[in-house]
Amino acid sequence: MNLSSKRKGEHMQMEGERQENFFKVCSACKISCCQDVRPPITEKREKIILEFLAKNGIKIENPFMRTEYTFPRETMDGYCIFYDKATRKCLIHPVKPETCVAGPITFDINRTTGKIEWYLKMEKICPLAGVMYMNRSLLNKHFEAARKEILELVRELPSEALKVILRRE
27-78 residue pLDDT tens: 777 777 899 999 999 999 999 999 999 999 999 999 999 999 999 999 999 9
Q: Which residue has the higher pLDDT, 40 or 26?
A: 40
Q: Which pLDDT value is given to residue 80?
A: 96
- How many C-alpha atoms does 114 have within 13 Å on its Cβ side? 1
Backbone angles phi, psi at 28, to 5 degrees: -90, -5
Task: With cut-offs at 50, 70 and 90, classify the pLDDT of residue 166.
Answer: confident
The conformation of residue 114, written as its DSSP 8-state character, comes to -
Backbone dihedral region for residue 62 (phi beyond 0: left; psi -120 to 50: alpha; all else: beta): left
Task: With cut-offs at 50, 70 and 90, classify the pLDDT of residue 24.
Answer: confident
Task: With cut-offs at 50, 70 and 90, classify the pLDDT of residue 83.
Answer: very high
Alpha carbon distance 39, 94 (integer Å): 15
Q: What is the dihedral of CA 94, 48, 127, 87, to 10 degrees?
A: -60
- Closest C-alpha to 128, from 116, 140, 118, 120: 120
Enumerate long-range contacts of 78-87, CB under 8 Å, 24 or more apart: 78/35, 78/36, 79/32, 79/34, 79/35, 80/34, 80/35, 80/37, 80/39, 82/34, 83/32, 83/34, 83/35
Helix (H) or strand (E) holding 19: helix 3-28
Question: Over pLDDT 70: what percentage of the chain?
Answer: 86
pLDDT of residue 22 exceeding 80, the answer is no
Q: Which pLDDT value is given to residue 21?
A: 59
Q: Which domain holds residue 131?
A: 3-168
Domains: count for the chain: 1
Choice among 12-21, 23-32, 46-55, 103-112 with the minimum mean pLDDT: 12-21
* CB 139, CB 120: distance < 8 Å: yes
Q: Which pLDDT value is given to residue 111?
A: 84
Q: Which pLDDT value is given to residue 117?
A: 93
Find the mean pLDDT for residues 19-33.
Answer: 71
